[in-house]
A and B are shown apart, each in its own frame.
Chain A
Amino acid sequence: MSDVLNVRVWRGGEEGEYQSFQVPRRESQTVLDVVSHIQRHLDPSLAYRFACRVGMCGSCAMTVNGVARWTCRTHVSKVVKDGVLELAPLAHLPVVRDLVTDMSVFFDKWAKARGQFHPTATRKDPFARVKPDTPERKNADAGIECIGCGVCYASCDVVQWQPDYLGPAALNRAWTLQNDVRDGAQDERLRAVAGDAGCHACHTHLSCTERCPKQISPTAGIAGLKRAAMKAALKGEL
């Protein structure tokens, strides 16, 4: 292990250039540690985003050597190439400055995919009992741990080619709600996520599934939505 890491960091907005820094190499160093070192010791003007540092909040995702990753749980030793780290903001999102993207579009698409829970019970009703071994509950469980980091969105080719596409995270959210037996907006949600800008645009490239740091498979959820929407469309209920 070399003592110094050569780090190239994107500086600027949509237009900009890479700036090089030399960062001391340490044991068990994460990519976020590297970025924090640069901001605290080398250039305080560097803009980046993080909060929890333990893989819960989903705010520190960046492009690391060309691949979207959560930086707080990515060890430098796993991703460094010939002693070089190249850090850029997430792809497919407008760049605010340096490593910070504007994630409004990403979350607006969650709302567009009817990502809100629509309760059917009131506070006077007893707690809903949802058995853990039902197929719906298992489907919901498989996708529920999403932290909204945007890694899947930045990795998706269809998002790049078709800016209206809702993207893997919003569709995964919709799929978990379609499998929530307490939810009352399932027909409306299916209409919102079907069609050319929704689940049917997915080409099953599986980049989202490959890159998801929480090992979720949005592709599987999208396939479920495709099947559900197709059944509804063929019955004339969509």
Chain B
Amino acid sequence: MNTSNQVRLWAAQRLSAMVLGICVIVHLITIIYAVRSGLSADQILARTQGNVAWFAFYGIFVIAVSIHGPIGLRSVLSEWLGWRGRSADIFLLVLAVVLAWLGFRAVWGVYA
């Protein structure tokens, strides 16, 4: 990977971290609210199904995770296992796609 793309990955890592910072806080507040209010699965689904705002929020959350996780893991693989270069990058790209697919499957599950 050329230097320019390495730096772009670094920038994407930082920007996705900022998005995740907000998403995680909203997500935690949502969990606490749902648990403390004693909402059932049906009541939660009634709020999320067809709700474009929740779909958009969790869609952005999934995209940020799919970007942030694999780039962070790239440094871990490089520094702890010495796994660098093309094979590691392809593995991480596959991981990003798998994370996005699993995430969007879940988001679609509570939206549709």
Contact = CB atoms under 8 A, between A and B. Distances in A.
Interface of A: 158, 161-162, 191, 194-196, 198, 200-201, 203, 226, 229-230, 232-234, 236, 238
A191 to B, nearest CB: 6
Instruction: Tell me the dominant secondary structure on chain A's binding face.
Output: helix
B97 interface: no
Contact of B10 (A158, A191, A230, A236): A230
Contacts, number: 41
Contacts of B7: 194-195, 200, 229-230, 232-233, 238
Interface residues of B, number: 13
Given A230-B10, A233-B11, A194 B80 contact: no
B51 interface: no
B80 A161 contact: yes
A198 B7 CA distance: 10
Contacts of B80: 161
A194 B8 contact: no
Given A200-B10, A230-B10, A230-B11, A194 B3 contact: yes
A195 B84 CA distance: 13
Given A200-B10, A230-B11, A195 B79 contact: no
A194 B4 CA distance: 8
